[in-house]
Amino acid sequence: MNSSPILVDVFIAAFLLKADSPMAKRPLEFSCQACGAVYARWQGRCDACGEWSTIVEEAASAPLPGGGTIAKQARKGRILRLESLVGTVDRAPRIACGMGEFDRVTGGGFVTGSVILLGGDPGIGKSTLLMQVTAALANEGHRVVYISGEEATDQVRLRAERLGLSKAPVELAAETNIETIVATLSEGAVPRLVIIDSIQTMWSETIPSAPGTVTQVRGAAQALIHFAKKSGAAIILVGHVTKDGQIAGPRVVEHMVDAVASFEGDGALNFRILRTTKNRFGPTDEIGVFEMTSLGLAEVTNPSALFLQGRDLDAVGTAVFAGIEGNRPVLIEFQALVAPSSLGNPRRTVVGWDPSRLSTVLAVLETHGGLKLGAYDIYLNVAGGLKINEPAADTAAAAAIISSMSQTPLPPDRVFMGEICLTGALRPISQAATRLKEAGKLGFSSAVLPKAGLDATANGVVSLHAVANISDLIATIIGRKPGKQRLETE
């Protein structure tokens, strides 16, 4: 009946031995490769981000570097008084790379010890941009290291040759092991800038998961961030982007880094936009505009002229929007095509704008403007591949749609701006004066904008057409009020 005490002791001893042994296998955990959420067991769909088939088995969190435990490594920290720090450093010391469009996005240059995550589609030009940035800094006499995990040093050299930068004193390495990288970087003078191209190819010996998994990406990023903070080197981590625009896997990394930038553009077109979505040391939503040429990326200092280039002035269905990207005014063309539909459920296709915003504008045009759009397919395109997020673009989109539906071309020298409310009214816009100034500079002579808040925007160059609501907007375009009767375009 009684179990033998000896047997129990043997069990306990075996258990302790297993737990203490360095050979003990670490438990498994399951982590989502899209968002980094961790689960105790496998499941088909991630509860955190809703993605399917992204959960992968990985070994649980890595041990501390050096193999110690937290208790063994703990030592006393130092607490400082904020007031004692005031005046020690004027502001974060920055190094500008000299490419104005890049420095504008970082907020005036790289902050010492900061880490930037740069995302973008494959082939968009991230490596090209970073090669130009590193060469510019190296030519200024700074120590700059470019570490490629994707390409051999010869490939990087070929790109530099193509860009005419092969003489720049940039240090190159093709390496993916994070311990080797940190050890190498720690030797000699502290580099001012280190490029890691890309973070998904990096792996650490202390983490038993495969390279590219969330645990590896997070571990590698952690090691590099630690190095940056300790040494004062600025680091740019290149990150790949998934098909739906997320920086693949390391959404977790976005929390850890100081700034997140993305390099965007339509592959078929030549210009590229660099944009920050997070910046601990500078502005967000500032954009830098570049053009891909046979000699690499050229800065575009006047983006409006580029976005409006080749515009068909007599076409129906086009309206120019006076927008603001970051702190900079940008003029951009909205193109609409309203075509009779043979489908029961007419098509609504949008490029460069939010589809739900289009649905809202269409509903307002139908309800408050009297337009019958139910029998038409509607295509809306922001020319040039720029993505517009501003609500003030509503009026330009609506104007393009009204123009296409009524086959009335809009005056080619007119810009549109204003957010449309669900009540049909146009809401006041911010920074109207800046927008109008840019329009005037590019030869536009009139602007349609909301009546509300107009006083503040008086401007001598551009004549203003104030509209109170959507039926006023239709009237300025087709020359009469839509009233109760429907437009004769059915």
Q: Applying CB under 5 A, which residues contact Mg ion?
A: 127
Residue among 150 and 366 whose Cβ is closer to Mg ion: 150
Which residue number, 120 or 249, has a Cβ lying nearer to ligand TYD?
120
Question: Could you give the C-alpha distances from 264 to 120, 131, 386, in angstroms and in order?
Answer: 6, 17, 8
Which residue number has the CB closest to Mg ion? 127
Q: Does 122 bind ligand TYD (CB under 6 A)?
A: yes
Beta carbon nearer to ligand TYD, 144 or 336:
144
DSSP letters, 333-368, are EEEEEEEE--SSS--EEEESS-HHHHHHHHHHHHHT
**Six-digit token pair at 162?**
């193509």
Q: Which one among 106, 128, 395, 404 touches ligand TYD, defined by CB under 6 A?
A: 128
Q: How remote is the C-alpha of 102 from its chain's centroid?
A: 14
Considering the rule CB under 6 A, would residue 275 count as an interface residue with ligand TYD?
no
Instruction: Classify 206 as helix, strand or coil.
Output: coil
Share in percent of the chain as helix, strand, coil (round to 5) = 30, 25, 45
Sequence-distant (≥ 6) Cβ neighbours of residue 427 within 8 angstroms: 391, 418, 419, 420, 421, 450, 452
Q: Which stretch binds ligand TYD (CB under 6 A): 68-76, 293-301, 304-312, 329-337?
A: 293-301
Residue 126 near ligand TYD by CB under 6 A = yes
From ligand TYD, Mg ion, none, which one binds at residue 228 (CB under 5 to 8 Å depending on kind)? none
Structural tokens at position 291: 């053009």
- The Cα–Cα gap between 443 and 311 comes to 14
Q: Which does 162 bind (CB under 5 to 8 A by kind): Mg ion, ligand TYD, none?
A: ligand TYD
Instruction: Give yes or no for residue 295 binding ligand TYD (CB under 6 A).
Output: yes
Per CB under 6 A, does 34 bind ligand TYD? no
- When asked if residue 120 is in the footprint of ligand TYD (CB under 6 A), the reply is yes
Q: Per rule CB under 6 A, is residue 124 in the interface with ligand TYD?
A: yes
Q: Which two tokens stand for residue 183?
A: 């050890």
148-177: contacts with ligand TYD (CB under 6 A): 159, 162-163
Binding partner selected for residue 68 from ligand TYD, Mg ion, none, CB under the kind-specific 5 to 8 Å limit: none
- Contacted entry of ligand TYD, Mg ion, none for residue 128, CB cut-off 5 to 8 Å set by kind: ligand TYD
Q: Applying CB under 6 A, does 265 fall inside the site for ligand TYD?
A: no
Q: What burial letters (b/e) apply to 89-98, b meaning 16+ CB within 10 Å? A: eeebebbbbe
Q: Report the residue number, 127 or 457, with the smaller CB distance to Mg ion.
A: 127
For residue 124, what are the CA distances in angstroms to 127, 265, 323, 437? 9, 7, 24, 32
Dihedral class, residue 115 (left if φ above 0, else alpha if ψ from -120 to 50, else beta):
beta
Q: What minimum distance in Å lies between the beta carbon of 407 and ligand TYD?
A: 39
Choosing among ligand TYD, Mg ion, none, which partner's interface includes residue 451 (Cβ < 5 to 8 Å by kind)?
A: none
Minimum CB–partner distance for residue 249 and ligand TYD (Å)? 17
And the tokens for 247? 């920086």
Query: Closer CB to ligand TYD, residue 93 or residue 122?
Result: 122
Shortest reach from residue 164's CB to ligand TYD, in Å? 9
The neighbour count for residue 165, using CB atoms within 10 Å, is 20
Residues 6 or more apart whose Cβ sits within 8 Å of residue 46: 32, 34, 35, 37, 52, 54, 55
Q: How far is residue 437's CA from residue 125's CA, in Å, rounded to a whole number?
A: 32
Phi, psi angles (nearest 5°) of residue 360 = -65, -45
111 binds, among Mg ion, ligand TYD, none (CB under 5 to 8 A by kind): none
Q: Which segment (125-133, 363-371, 393-401, 427-435) binds ligand TYD by CB under 6 A?
A: 125-133
Instruction: In angstroms, give the least distance from the CB of 200 to Mg ion.
Output: 11
- Choose which of 31, 33, 54, 127 interacts with ligand TYD (CB under 6 A): 127
Q: Quick one: what does residue 120 bind among ligand TYD, Mg ion, none, with the CB cut-off 5 to 8 Å set by partner type?
A: ligand TYD
Binding-site residue total for ligand TYD (CB under 6 A)? 15
Question: Nearest approach, Cβ of 195 to Mg ion (angstroms)?
Answer: 10
The reply to whether omega before 198 is within 30° of 0 (cis) is yes
Pick one of 294, 342, 356, 485: the residue that binds ligand TYD (CB under 6 A). 294
Q: What whole-number distance in Å separates Cα of residue 415 and Cα of residue 405? A: 19
Main-chain dihedrals φ then ψ at residue 255, nearest 5 degrees: -75, -30
| Closer to Mg ion by Cβ: residue 46 or 118 | 118
Residues that bind ligand TYD (CB under 6 A): 120, 122-128, 159, 162-163, 292, 294-296
